[in-house]
Amino acid sequence: MGATGKKGPKVLHLSTTARGGAGIAAFRLYEAQRARGHQVAFLSKTIAIDFEGTELVDHSLSYKRPGPWKRAMIKINRLFTRNKVLSHIRDIQESTQAEMVSSPYGPKAMNTHPLVISADIIHLHWVSGWIDYPSFFKEVRKPMVWTLHDANPFMGLFHYPMDLEINRSLVNSLEDQVKEIKKGGMALSNQLTITAPSKWLLNQARESGQFPKGSSFLCVPNSVDTNNFRPSKSTLRSRLGLTEEEEVVMYIAGSQNIRRKGLDLLLKALALLDRDISILTIGKSDRPMDATAANVINLGFITDAGQLVEAYNAADALILPSLEDNLPNTMLESLACGTPVVAFDRGGMKEHLSDPDRGQLVSDQTPEALAIGIEKFMDRRRQLQVNKIRDYALKHFSPDVQVAAYKETYEELLKD
């Protein structure tokens, strides 16, 4: 193990991507640690940054078309487990209604990547298709922290229990087979600490029995840049022709087509309300929305933090109708802006919105219950205090809090 020096251990963050909710959360942690003088690197399919902070043009994991001999060997290898499993997974991907189906396999070149070799600690994030379960934990003999962003590491093919329930009849024994491949790989790990941003996900992970005996489990919420996401005067309402007195809510998701995110439930709920509400929607969509449900204003796909902050500050509330979710970045961003959140009492939302001063929790996952919840919130929205909401975000979701928690976690790993 390398010397730790004044800046602490060299920590490599591995994430399939730096995009999407999980990728953004992972990269935010990396940036927060680097800004505070920690020795960190980041390796993903979309960006690679070394321990000096230099962005790399990383060719070591690139794929090349195999030559004739290699192609012949691939055909022969299809007789074996790995290729059979991959073939079955490809078939499943075409027939399921799941949000995502993932393989337990990935590029073995990851195991000997220079950044992996030079790291003292490997910090895994959302790594589907990025690590090879059977070989990674066996060959990379380093202490590891694994921040879970969904349930896939302790499931088989799927990322959320809901998808397994819907598709159980299609996957037959393949789900269990993939789970065993993962479990067998993780059993070979040197040291493994499991963290999750919500107690909801952490408890599921602990109770799954998938992780090696002796693994540690710790809840560490994600962070948000509270210097960027903060209360501010927004001119968005006036630009959209909305007055300050009008009721405006907001919905945001990377894709508006994901059933788990609950947009259909929200639109049905708004249609039940006997009041004029405008809804700002942000995210990709390939289908027209039912504008009869409310005054729907689609702002499109936005990545610019300044534009997001404007939207949060223009809304009376963020509506988060997710049926299953861990700790959505959108909730953290909204609270940091002092904007309350209305959500179903599931996952990480339940853990942070229990105080009505921060929004409204809805028990039943139905349009009727959500409509009642929105109605109750709107009737008292003027009573909520922006500064009080932001203070909660500063206490729980500031980068300083997250960085300190992981610094302690790394130190504990290196003691063993």
Show Cβ contacts of residue 135 under 8 Å, excluding neighbours closer than 6 positions.
Answer: 108, 111, 185
User: Are 61 and 158 in the same domain?
Assistant: yes
**161 within 8 A of 260, measured Cβ to Cβ:** no
User: Are 215 and 263 in the same domain?
Assistant: no
Residue with token string 């309300």: 273
Q: Is residue 390 part of a domain?
A: yes
The pLDDT value given to residue 64: 42
Strands 359-362 and 11-14: unpaired
User: Are 68 and 200 in the same domain?
Assistant: yes
The pLDDT value given to residue 172: 73
Q: Is residue 376 part of a domain?
A: yes
Average pLDDT of the segment spanning 77-82:
52
Show Cβ contacts of residue 264 under 8 Å, excluding neighbours closer than 6 positions.
Answer: none
Q: Is residue 40 part of a domain?
A: yes
What single DSSP character describes residue 354?
A: -
Structure-derived torsion over alpha carbons of residues 222, 225, 226, 230, reported in degrees to the nearest 10 = -120
**Strand (E) or helix (H) holding 359:** strand 359-362
Residue type, 301: F
- H runs (alpha helix) in 248-397: 263-272, 305-314, 329-336, 347-352, 367-380, 386-397
User: Are 362 and 407 in the same domain?
Assistant: no
Would you call 324 helix, strand, or coil by DSSP?
Answer: coil
The pLDDT value given to residue 66: 46
- How many other CB atoms sit within 10 Å of the CB of residue 3? 7
Average pLDDT of the segment spanning 125-149:
95
The more confidently predicted of residues 159 and 13 is 13
Average pLDDT of the segment spanning 44-71:
70
Average pLDDT of the segment spanning 98-114:
85
**374 within 8 A of 344, measured Cβ to Cβ:** no
Would you call 117 helix, strand, or coil by DSSP?
Answer: helix
User: Are 23 and 167 in the same domain?
Assistant: yes
For residue 79, is pLDDT > 50? no
Show Cβ contacts of residue 68 under 8 Å, excluding neighbours closer than 6 positions.
Answer: none
User: Are 255 and 179 in the same domain?
Assistant: no
Q: Is residue 30 part of a domain?
A: yes
Q: Is residue 4 part of a domain?
A: no
Measured between alpha carbons, how far is 336 from 159 in angstroms, rounded to an integer? 28
User: Are 386 and 406 in the same domain?
Assistant: no
For residue 58, is pLDDT > 90? no
User: Are 242 and 342 in the same domain?
Assistant: yes
User: In CATH, what number is assigned to the domain containing residue 304?
Assistant: 3.40.50.2000
Q: What is the CA radius of gyration of the chain?
A: 22
Average pLDDT, the chain: 87
Bridge-partner residues for 122, per DSSP?
A: 12, 144
In 3D space, the residue among 377, 106, 159 whose CA is nearest the CA of residue 250 turns out to be 377
Q: What is the DSSP string of 44-96?
A: -SS-EE-TTSPBP---TT------HHHHHHHHHHTTSHHHHHHHHHHHHHHH-
Average pLDDT of the segment spanning 181-202:
95
Q: Is residue 362 part of a domain?
A: yes
The more confidently predicted of residues 409 and 95 is 409
Q: Is residue 254 part of a domain?
A: yes
The pLDDT value given to residue 396: 97
Domain count, the chain: 2
The more confidently predicted of residues 202 and 58 is 202
89-93, 157-161, 194-198, 407-411: which range is least confident on average? 89-93
Instruction: Look at the pTM and tell me if it is higher than 0.85.
Output: yes
The pLDDT value given to residue 10: 98
Domain region containing 27:
11-223+398-415
**222 within 8 A of 202, measured Cβ to Cβ:** no
Q: Is residue 177 part of a domain?
A: yes
User: Are 314 and 302 in the same domain?
Assistant: yes
Average pLDDT of the segment spanning 101-107:
87
User: Are 390 and 402 in the same domain?
Assistant: no
